[in-house]
Amino acid sequence: MGVGVITIREFEPGDVEAALAMEEVAQPQPWTERIFNDELSAENRTYLVADDGAVCGYGGVMLMGDEAHITNLLVAPDHRGQGIGRRLMIGLIESAIAEGARHLILEVRSENEAARSLYSRLGLAPVGVRPGYYDDGDALIMWAHDIDSAEYAERLT
Ligand SMILES: CC(C)(COP(=O)(O)OP(=O)(O)OC[C@H]1O[C@@H](n2cnc3c(N)ncnc32)[C@H](O)[C@@H]1OP(=O)(O)O)[C@@H](O)C(=O)NCCC(=O)NCCS
């Protein structure tokens, strides 16, 4: 259960340990410490955490040209349904737009209804399937175009 004020802030190296623990319980293909460290030190990335005194969610985005790719998004199971995933996504999208992104792309497990619904509400539409992308299933590719437009900005308010 979530308590208190939730802040969205930059992911710091000291957050890796908490994120690893969350990956282990909540991700079918958990990221390793090495992946987190590589990502945090790589160019053109933004990683954010949700913090209510402890890390309760995180996500990342990678910028390639004018395309922003969501690399990871996770909210602790006992903190879901409180708008934290949406707040993290908005923070990542706003950061990507500030860095020059015009399009947003991500892969999501086809059967991941919660994530698909979150992404649809943020204007992402399915554009294709990558069969066998995950060990245990297919990925749906979702896109949003013109995220630097005034129309898109309205979606984030
Ligand atoms: C997907 C995930 C990040 C959503 O986080 P969250 O904080 O619970 O989401 P929010 O509370 O911000 O919900 C935002 C929207 O997502 C959708 N949503 C969230 N949980 C949902 C659920 N269980 N069923 C259907 N839709 C859901 C809704 O559209 C919701 O909007 P609404 O509250 O106005 O109806 C979270 O479920 C999670 O960490 N899942 C496991 C990891 C994962 O799947 N990551 C994405 C990988 S691509």
pLDDT string in tens for the chain (157-residue length) = 445 799 999 999 999 999 999 999 999 899 999 999 999 999 999 999 999 999 999 999 999 999 999 999 999 999 999 999 999 999 999 999 999 999 999 999 999 999 999 999 999 999 999 999 988 889 999 999 999 999 999 999 8
Q: Using the atom order of ligand 1, give the atom closest to the CA of residue 27.
A: 42
Expressed in angstroms and rounded, the spacing between residue 47 Cα and the centre of ligand 1 is 18
CA-nearest residue, atom 43 of ligand 1: 74
Residue 1's pLDDT is 47
61 Cβ below 6 A of ligand 1: no
Distance CA 58, CA 74 (A): 6
Task: Name the residue among 61, 66, 78, 84 with its Cα closest to residue 8.
Answer: 84
pLDDT of residue 3: 55
**Sequence ranges of the domains in the chain:** 7-155
Using the mean position of ligand 1's atoms as its centre, give its distance from the Cα of residue 86 in Å.
7
Give the pLDDT of residue 154: 94
Is 153 a pocket residue for ligand 1 (Cβ < 6 Å)? no
* CA distances from residue 55 to 79, 99, 149 in whole angstroms, order as listed: 10, 25, 32
Residue 140, ligand 1, Cβ within 6 A: no
Task: Establish whether residue 25 lines the binding site of ligand 1, counting it when its CB lies within 6 angstroms of any ligand atom.
Answer: no
**pTM of the entire structure?**
0.96
Distance 81 CA to ligand 1 centre (A): 6
Pick the CATH number of 7-155 from 3.30.1060.10, 3.20.20.140, 3.40.630.30, 3.40.640.10: 3.40.630.30
Q: Which helix (H) or strand (E) holds 137?
A: strand 137-144
